[in-house]
Amino acid sequence: MTLLPVLPILIPFGTAILCLVLWNRPGLQKVTAALGSVSLLVAALILLAVVRREGYLVLQAGGWPAPFGISMVVDLFSALMTTLAAVTGVAVTFYSLSSSEQGREIQGFYSFLHWLLMGVCGCFLAGDLFNLYVWFEVMLMASFILMSLGGERGQLEGGVKYVVLNLVASAFFLTALGVLYGMVGTLNMADIAQKLQRVDQPGLSAALAMLFLTAFGIKAALFPFFSWLPASYHTPPAAVSALFAGLLTKVGVYALIRTFTLIFTQDFAHQLILVLAALTMITGVLGAVSQNHFRRILSFHIISQVGYMVMGLALFTPLALAGSVFYIAHHIIVKANLFLVSGVARRLRGTEELAHLGGLLRTAPWLATLFLIPALSLAGMPPLSGFWAKLFLIWASFQEKNYLIGAIALAVGLITLLSMIKIWTKVFWGKVPAPQPEQHAGQQKLPLREALLLYLPMASMALLTLMISLWPNLLFQMAQEVAAQLLNPAQYIEAVLGGGA
């Protein structure tokens, strides 16, 4: 039995514990955290390579055969998501080596960062719904702490909303699990997929689908469950919001895609998801237009982007699902990067209100470049990665003769561009405004070591975006393989349960 499938869980686990042991040694904590994140990335890449060759990797915990024990299942989708989580983890860890304020590492910042990564990877690798619930909670607990670490007023008030709504989501999830267990007597996803077809209770299984949709919808910030996100995401330090923006909602999207391709494949559920996707895109982008705060604008864009990812799931064709997967990959990298940029802008100027920013193009030209690449990509300008992602999705919607959703997606892309231009003109162009009386001054000049630690992660993420932009076929090919696997649940079931079950 090889441990490879659970390495992305074990490595952050070990790192987090080491960081706790080194509680009073901030320097060693930083080294450990950096090494841990890099080895997580290496493990995730190996996992991705192995899974791409072999299709599925299944680990039965404790050697108990599938429906009885807990299975960890890695298909290409899980492996790809784990890799993306690791990429974000590395970037955020290195970025926070410089940016986390004095004292946060004493409070366990790096440890909780790795607990969070462990929870996220666990969610991607779980092959059992109850296990997924447990990983969700691990991830949430770590994110609660990261959200409120530091104890500023905005953080605590945002944290309250974040915590309560996510606990309600967990209650929905657990309710759904209880009813589901009562119906089919199993929690292994492959086993559920198989047994639910034989249970002739369409009403109850439709109700279950809705319960899962609500639970994961809250975590993915779908319309109308997104209100916790813009209230909380702009409050913690930039490194933390970058990690949240890149990964947490995407775990919800991952869970939605997993359950609604494997377990619930009814037509009406996907139609409902399509309507929700459209409303999510529209409300998210309109919310962003109304904001005048750097990170609040970006937070609202997360919501509208989640709409796109879910739109691919709702259309439910190979091309649309591949588009979704491509979109998730592109979005994680781009979005995390934008939040990192906003953090540097705050460092330089001490504020994130657009009205009090300006002239950064002259004082920090590299920052401006590093903003422009992800921002234009987010808006879907050719030839950047966001353009390809939107192209695949809109193409899929036209193929399905669903012109309305395609048109909405196009319009939302246009408004996204509008609000990226708004940030660009107000933050980077114009004159340097006179500092406000209550505003604490930013650092005009960053020491070289800090500047390197801040800029290197951003530059690597931007480089990654450019690579996806110039060679989209590499990622798209993988996305198509993922979609093929997702649309063929029989393969998944056989890989987990073995042919005989």
Partner 1 sequence: MEVLLALVVGGLYTAGVYLLLQPSPVKLIIGLGILTNAVNLLIFTAAGLTRGRPPIIEEGLSRPIGPIADPLPQALILTAIVIAFGVLAFALVLFSKTAEITGEDNLDEMRTSDP
Q: Which is nearer to partner 1, 95 or 172 (CB)?
A: 172
Q: Which is nearer to partner 1, 151 or 203 (CB)?
A: 151
Rounded to whole angstroms, how far apart are CA atoms 287 and 318? 31
| Smallest separation (angstroms) from partner 1 to the CB of 184 | 11
Please report whether residue 199 would count as binding partner 1 according to CB under 8 A: no
User: Could you give the 3-state DSSP secondary structure of residue 128?
Assistant: strand
User: Of 39, 107, 175, 317, which lies in the binding site for partner 1, with binding defined by CB under 8 A?
Assistant: 175
Please report whether residue 177 would count as binding partner 1 according to CB under 8 A: yes
Closest CA to 360 of 348, 375, 343: 348
Rounded to whole angstroms, how far apart are CA atoms 340 and 239? 6
User: Of 181, 265, 467, 501, which lies in the binding site for partner 1, with binding defined by CB under 8 A?
Assistant: 181
Q: Which is nearer to partner 1, 163 or 313 (CB)?
A: 163
| Smallest separation (angstroms) from partner 1 to the CB of 130 | 6
46, 2 in Cβ contact below 8 A? no
Please report whether residue 210 would count as binding partner 1 according to CB under 8 A: no
Which tokens hold the place of 252? 């919800």
> First CA to last CA across the chain, in angstroms?
21
Q: Which of these ranges, 179-187, 253-261, 277-285, 378-386, lies near partner 1 under the rule CB under 8 A?
A: 179-187
Rounded to whole angstroms, how far apart are CA atoms 46 and 52? 10
- Whether a cis peptide bond, with omega within 30° of 0, leads into 365 is no
Q: Which is nearer to partner 1, 25 or 356 (CB)?
A: 356
Please report whether residue 62 would count as binding partner 1 according to CB under 8 A: no
Phi then psi for 22, rounded to 5 degrees? Answer: -90, 30
Four-residue CA torsion sign, 81, 87, 90, 93: negative
User: Of 52, 101, 103, 154, which lies in the binding site for partner 1, with binding defined by CB under 8 A?
Assistant: 154
Q: Which is nearer to partner 1, 439 or 460 (CB)?
A: 439
- Whether a cis peptide bond, with omega within 30° of 0, leads into 383 is yes
Q: Which is nearer to partner 1, 164 or 463 (CB)?
A: 164
Q: Which is nearer to partner 1, 159 or 343 (CB)?
A: 159
Q: Which is nearer to partner 1, 121 or 138 (CB)?
A: 138
Number of CB atoms found within 10 A of residue 52's CB = 13
- With CB under 8 A as the rule, give the number of residues binding partner 1: 43
| Smallest separation (angstroms) from partner 1 to the CB of 234 | 7
Helix (H) or strand (E) holding 162: helix 153-184
- Listed in sequence order, the residues at least 6 apart from 348 whose beta carbon sits closer than 8 Å to its beta carbon are 360, 363, 364, 367, 442, 443, 444, 446
| Smallest separation (angstroms) from partner 1 to the CB of 191 | 13
Q: Which is nearer to partner 1, 140 or 486 (CB)?
A: 140
Number of CB atoms found within 10 A of residue 265's CB = 17
Helix (H) or strand (E) holding 347: helix 318-349
Please report whether residue 106 would count as binding partner 1 according to CB under 8 A: no
Phi then psi for 53, rounded to 5 degrees? Answer: -80, -40
Please report whether residue 130 would count as binding partner 1 according to CB under 8 A: yes
Binding mask 230-269 for partner 1 (x = CB under 8 A): xxx-xx----------------------------------
Please report whether residue 148 would count as binding partner 1 according to CB under 8 A: yes
Q: Can you tell me which residue has the tokens 């690579």?
A: 467
Q: Which is nearer to partner 1, 177 or 446 (CB)?
A: 177
Q: Which of these ranges, 94-102, 135-143, 330-338, 404-412, lies near partner 1 under the rule CB under 8 A?
A: 135-143
Q: Rule CB under 8 A: which of 403-432 touch partner 1?
A: none
Please report whether residue 171 would count as binding partner 1 according to CB under 8 A: yes
Please report whether residue 141 would count as binding partner 1 according to CB under 8 A: yes
Please report whether residue 383 would count as binding partner 1 according to CB under 8 A: no
46, 19 in Cβ contact below 8 A? no
User: Of 287, 343, 358, 413, which lies in the binding site for partner 1, with binding defined by CB under 8 A?
Assistant: 287
Q: Which is nearer to partner 1, 94 or 244 (CB)?
A: 244
CB pairs under 8 A, 24+ apart, for 363-369? 363/432, 363/444, 366/455, 367/341, 367/455, 368/428, 369/462
Please report whether residue 439 would count as binding partner 1 according to CB under 8 A: no
Please report whether residue 104 would count as binding partner 1 according to CB under 8 A: no
Distance of CA 75 to CAs 133, 154, 423, Å?
A: 19, 40, 39
- In this structure, which amino acid lies at residue 216? F
Please report whether residue 156 would count as binding partner 1 according to CB under 8 A: yes
Residues that bind partner 1 (CB under 8 A): 130, 134, 137, 140-141, 144-145, 148, 151, 153-161, 163-164, 167-168, 170-171, 174-175, 177-179, 181-182, 185, 187, 230-232, 234-235, 287, 290-291, 296, 300
